[in-house]
């Protein structure tokens, strides 16, 4: 196995709003190796974006707060790191691609200059010509003609803007790429292109990547490993094969599978998961999925189940404690 790149241990993040304290991440642990492609799956509000922002320490000022746990990136303690250290990491070592390409580019700066800025920030010794050359290179790598670099974001389509976002994230060749639902805002036909491009570039530069998505199909197709997030914690993780074999899954993952159409079976109805994710301002004390779980037991409501690992596959559920049967 390759070297560890990112190690998150028992992370807790909360948002302190005027009305209430929102517990967005509750004891999340995660390990990522160099060059690994991890898919992070979960519903809206599960804390996926919060996780990505915590890794970069870009949580909304004065509101978002890491209350407990550690994030270790390549020997650097991110939680304790000062601004200076974080600035050197952002963009150069860890880069991020955002969800909405329509709003994530500065509308009044040309796209070439926005990519150029990354180089200005992290390679001050590089000559201007060299930087220009790099900008042209990365643009053509993502499939945009270099002569369009003086154009402004509004002159590009959504898909092209996301390509620019990718170019901006990759121009400094970071070791870790955080892609936060990079294709959710795009047309289905464009989605596949963009994902293909990202995977291709990820392999070319041997970048590790966390692909955040709510789409199990995307994960099955593009990722090596999967982590399922529910209510701010990882409830199941493993290789794509482990999860998609569908022999042994967390009840929530089973629910996720049942709520997407499957052409191989002839079931004529989708089975949605009943109920909603627990209110993050008022979390239950036991398993967070207990209320919606068809297999809920008494102890589920009182105790948080442990993470049970068999080989590469881990599941956070009492059901697998001894018998290891399928839910």
DSSP letter at 247 equals S
* Strand order, beta sheet including 4-16: 21-33, 4-16, 64-73, 76-77
Among 10, 67, 103, 247, binds another protein (CB under 8 A): 103
138: tokens are 């990365």
Of 99 and 314, nearer to another protein (C-beta) is 99
- Is 92 a residue that touches another protein (CB under 8 A)? yes
The span from the CA of 170 to the CA of 287, in Å, is: 39
**CA 240 to chain CA mean position, Å:** 16
String of contacts with another protein for each residue 142-161, x by CB under 8 A: ----------x-x-------
- Is 76 a residue that touches another protein (CB under 8 A)? no
String of contacts with another protein for each residue 269-298, x by CB under 8 A: --------x-xxxx----------------
Span interacting with another protein, options 117-125, 196-204, 217-225, 286-294, rule CB under 8 A? 117-125
The span from the CA of 26 to the CA of 201, in Å, is: 33
Q: Say which residue the tokens 């997030």 belong to.
A: 229
| Minimum distance, C-beta of residue 170 to another protein, in the bound complex (Å) | 12
Among 2, 10, 58, 302, binds another protein (CB under 8 A): 58
Q: How many residues bind another protein (CB under 8 A)?
A: 48
- Is 244 a residue that touches another protein (CB under 8 A)? no
Listed in sequence order, the DSSP H helices in the chain are 48-56, 83-89, 111-122, 128-141, 158-170, 188-205, 216-222, 240-244, 251-258
| Per-residue exposure over 173-211, b if at least 16 CB sit within 10 Å of its own CB, e if not | ebbbbbbbbbbebbeeebbebbbebbbebbeeeebbbbb
Among 39, 69, 91, 305, binds another protein (CB under 8 A): 91
Q: Both ends of the chain: CA-CA distance in Å?
A: 30
- Is 104 a residue that touches another protein (CB under 8 A)? yes
String of contacts with another protein for each residue 198-237, x by CB under 8 A: ----------------------------------------
Span interacting with another protein, options 83-91, 198-206, 245-253, 312-320, rule CB under 8 A? 83-91
- Is 106 a residue that touches another protein (CB under 8 A)? yes
| Per-residue exposure over 62-77, b if at least 16 CB sit within 10 Å of its own CB, e if not | eebbbeebebbbbeee
Residue ranges that bind another protein, judged by CB under 8 A: 15, 17-20, 22, 24, 44-45, 47, 49-50, 56, 58, 60, 62, 83, 87-92, 95-96, 98, 100, 103-110, 117-118, 121-122, 152, 154, 165, 168, 277, 279-282
């Amino acid at each position: 196995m390759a070297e560890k790149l990112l190690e998150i241990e028992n992370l807790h993040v909360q948002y302190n709003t005027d009305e209430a304290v929102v517990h967005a991440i509750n004891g999340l642990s995660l390990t990522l190796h160099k060059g690994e492609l991890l898919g992070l799956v979960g519903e809206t509000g599960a804390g996926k974006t919060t996780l990505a922002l915590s890794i970069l320490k870009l949580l909304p000022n004065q509101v978002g707060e890491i209350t407990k746990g550690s994030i270790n990136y390549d020997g650097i303690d991110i939680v304790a790191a000062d601004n200076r250290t974080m600035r050197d990491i952002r963009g150069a070592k860890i880069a991020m691609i955002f969800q909405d390409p329509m709003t994530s580019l500065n509308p009044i700066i040309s796209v070439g200059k926005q990519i150029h800025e990354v180089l200005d920030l992290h390679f001050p010794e590089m000559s201007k010509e060299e930087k220009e050359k790099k900008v042209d290179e990365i643009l053509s790598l993502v499939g945009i003609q270099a002569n369009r670099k003086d154009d402004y974001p509004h002159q590009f389509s959504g898909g092209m803007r996301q390509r620019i976002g990718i170019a901006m994230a990759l121009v400094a060749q970071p070791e870790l790429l955080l892609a936060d639902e990079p294709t959710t805002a795009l047309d289905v036909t464009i989605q596949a292109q963009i994902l293909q491009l990202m995977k291709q570039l990820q392999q070319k530069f041997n970048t590790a990547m966390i692909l955040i998505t709510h789409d199990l199909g995307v994960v099955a197709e593009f990722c090596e490993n999967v982590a399922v997030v529910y209510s701010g914690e990882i409830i199941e993780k493993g290789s794509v094969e482990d999860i998609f074999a569908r022999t042994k899954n967390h009840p929530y993952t089973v629910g996720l599978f049942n709520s997407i159409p499957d052409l191989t079976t002839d079931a004529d109805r989708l089975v949605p998961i009943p109920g909603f994710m627990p209110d993050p301002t008022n979390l239950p004390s036991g398993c967070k999925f207990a209320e919606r779980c068809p297999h809920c037991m008494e102890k589920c409501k009182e105790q948080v189940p442990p993470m049970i690992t068999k080989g590469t596959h881990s599941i956070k559920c009492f059901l697998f404690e001894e018998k290891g049967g399928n839910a």
